[in-house]
Amino acid sequence: MNEILDMGRYGAYVWPCFALAAVVLAWNVVAARRLHSAARQHALRRAAAKAAS
Amino acid sequence: MNWTWFHKLASPPHAYRIAAGLLPWFAWPAGALILFGLYGGLVLAPADYQQGDAFRIVYVHAPSAWLSMMVYATMAVAAGIGLVWRIKLAHAVAAASAPVGASFTFLALATGAIWGKPMWGTWWVWDARLTSELILLFLYAGIMALRASIDDRDRADRAAAVLALVGVVNLPIIHYSVYWWNTLHQPATLTKIGKPSMAADMLWPLLAMLLGFTLFYGAILLVRLRAEILRRERDAAWLTTGLAR
């Protein structure tokens, strides 16, 4: 386990890269889902308001 | 030639439904390939004889650098189609692609800088590859800012499309910079697929990551495209029935 974490003394460079990649991938998923969810809610509210008027 | 399928695909309600159907076909393989690539790259692949374990950064650096250019090319093609044939869905694809491309360009630059420190002894040099990749990030930022700064959506689409097309000139500069100029950055490893300069047990995880990242972009594009369609079609009649599904 320590061997993997140490990465032949390059752990301080290798792991931050993979952590950063995980953050960017996760941001893309969360941001896209939130964008779609917000747009859908907005469209549903407009449709409901239109139907009521 | 019968173009009915193309016009049908370009219709927002149809595209909205198709995108939902396609999403699992991109998302699940993307997740599986990225996990396989991570395991192969971090555990199975042997250390490089020159760079040691630091070479493993390539498994996130190369796919993000590939996406930074591939997403830009996709965005520019979509922008061009939107400009020439006035297809609104093409502009929606371009708008949905820009933030994704910008995020992967940032990742390519950041992982490159972190990799550069132990290998080159510096986080950053103004060499042609790094500088042209930084310009790519500025292009993405400029396109997003330009789109956001114009209230009229059609005008915003056209202005962003023109800037995206002008910026295409940067793509060959990024790709060939390592051949045209004397750079610190190494030449491409994978362009010569017939004779790649990488051992097979290092190569397969990289190919898995490259395909995984590409499918990941496809999945994110589909979700963002659906959001973009909803925003653009807010007053369309089909939304009332379409959203119920």
Q: What is the DSSP string of B161-199?
A: HHHHHHHTTHHHHHHHHHHHS--SSPPPSSS-TTS-SS-
Q: Which residues of A touch B120 (CB under 8 A)?
A: none
CB contact under 8 A, B99 and A31: yes
Mean pLDDT, rounded, for B102-127: 96
Per CB-CB distance under 8 Å, the chain A contacts of B42 are: 4, 18
Write out chain B residues lying below 8 Å of A17, CB-based.
57, 60-61, 110-111, 114-115
Task: Annotate B38-53 with b (16+ C-beta within 10 A) or e (fewer).
Answer: bebbbeebeebeebbb
Residues of A in contact with B230 (CB under 8 A): 36, 39-40, 42-43
Coil/strand/helix, residue B52: strand
Q: pLDDT tens digits for A16-27? A: 999 999 999 999
Structure-token pair, residue B43: 């555990």
Tell me the shortest Cα–Cα distance from A35 to chain B, in angstroms: 6
Give residue A29's Cα distance to chain centre.
4
Band the pLDDT of A49: cuts 50, 70, 90. Answer: confident
Domain covering B31-244, topology = Four Helix Bundle (Hemerythrin (Met), subunit A) (1.20.120)
Of B123-137, B165-179, B193-207, least confident by mean pLDDT is: B193-207
CB < 8 Å to B110, chain A: 17, 20
> Within an 8 Å CB–CB cutoff, is residue A49 touching chain B?
no
* Residue B48 φ/ψ, nearest 5 degrees: -75, 145
Q: Which of A17, A29, A36 lies closest to B111 in CB terms?
A: A17
Smallest Cβ–Cβ distance between A32 and the set B54, B220, B233 belongs to: B220
How many Å apart are CA B96 and CA B227, to the nearest integer? 9
The ipTM of this complex is: 0.94
Residue B31 has pLDDT above 90, yes or no: yes
Q: State which residue of chain A sits closest to B20, comparing Cα positions.
A: A36
Q: Is B93 exposed, middle or buried (0-12, 13-18, 19+ CB in 10 A)?
A: buried
Which residue from A minimizes the CA distance to B96?
A32
CA distance B99 to chain A (A): 9
What is the spatial distance between Cα B206 and Cα B211, in angstroms, rounded to a whole number? Answer: 9
pLDDT the model gives residue B193: 52
Give the span between the Cα atoms of B43 and B161, in whole angstroms: 43
pLDDT tens-digit series, residues B155-188: 999 999 999 999 999 999 998 888 887 777 777 7
**Residue from B28, B33, B55, B56 to probe the interface with A (highest A Cβ count within 10 Å):** B56
Q: Is A52 on the interface with B (CB under 8 A)?
A: no
Q: How many domains does chain A have?
A: 1
Question: CB A14 to CB B220 under 8 A?
Answer: no
Query: Is A36 near chain B, with CB under 8 Å?
Result: yes
- For residue A20, the enclosing domain spans 2-52
Q: What is the pLDDT of residue B244?
A: 53
